[in-house]
Chain A
Amino acid sequence: MTRGGMGRSTTSRGMSRNRSAAALQLPDAVPLFAALGDATRLRLLGRLSAGGALSITRLSEGTGVTRQAITRHLHALGDVGLVRHARRGRERVWDLNRERLDRAKRYLDQIAAQWDDAAERLRAFVEDQE
């Protein structure tokens, strides 16, 4: 793959901002977005997505983040329904709520809508010249 892409420059900071306190007063989709807007929480979702239900100990491994912080992030994700916890034997494990996560798939709907528009512009472009 080549370098570049649509954007250039250096870093992406936007996603790490956390305004969940304000966002919680807003309609359903907004707190979900706010909960996703944190690098640690996104990594947790990634781990859970790949590894099924996991304990906090397992989720903390190799992250360089304390168990307390991981617990806090899991609760933030739990508050918006992205993860759930259950007991497995003597330990508490956390798991993805896949139905909730599927809402993120609306991303595809937006891109599909853009292709609809582009296809109609292509139609106008070739048919008008007939």
Chain B
Amino acid sequence: MALKTPMPNDTKSTDRIEKRIVLRAPRTRVWRAITNAAEFGTWFRVKLEGAFTEGRPIRGRMAIPDYEHLTLEMLIERIDPERYFSYRWHPYAVDPAADYSAEPTTLVEFTLEETDGGTAVTIVESGFDRIPLARQAEAFRMNDKGWDGQINHLARYVA
């Protein structure tokens, strides 16, 4: 076996997720859906208390079936009107008994651009390389569809 082989530089694939979608709606409309906390909560499925304000945390209860017992907290970083919105949070924080506060967060960024007939939204979540392996393993345990459907077995044997 090869010892001391340097790890290939694949930070890009393991550290971040990037999605780009084109929505058939004006940029103003999309911007409001993303940065008005009540509207964000409607499609993201979280009941947030208050408004998004730069530098301020906002909390809410998840509104996804089976996840209603979870509290979500977002720390709003930047609101650049109609163009860019970012916040930090704890990804996949699905264990209500765990204290995630001392753990690294990921950064979520929404970038809006006008396109033909609509608005392009790019969503980037980054910083996963700093998330502890234990949390990553936990995500497998918690997710019904994780690891090729083996999670039901996992729940029986490991949980």
> Which residues of A are interface residues toward B (Cβ below 8 A)?
1-15, 17, 19, 22-23, 26-27, 29-30, 33-34, 36-37, 39, 42, 45-46, 52-53, 84, 86, 88, 93, 95, 98, 104-108, 110-113, 115-116, 118-119, 121-127, 129-130
Contacts and interface: CB of A to CB of B under 8 A. Distances in A.
Contacts of A127: 23-25
Interface of B: 1, 3-4, 7, 13-14, 17, 19, 21, 23-25, 29-30, 33-34, 39, 42-45, 57, 59, 62, 70-73, 75, 88-101, 103, 105, 121, 123, 125, 128, 131-134, 136-141, 143, 145-148, 150, 153-154, 157-159
Contact of A42 (B73, B121, B134, B153): B134
B158 A119 contact: no
Interface of chain A: mostly helix, strand, loop or mixed? helix
A33 B44 CA distance: 29
Contacts, number: 199
A121 B44 contact: yes
A119 B158 CA distance: 32
19 contacts: A5-B73, A5-B90, A6-B89, A8-B96, A11-B99, A14-B95, A14-B97, A19-B157, A29-B147, A29-B150, A33-B147, A42-B133, A53-B4, A104-B133, A104-B136, A110-B139, A112-B19, A124-B43, A125-B33
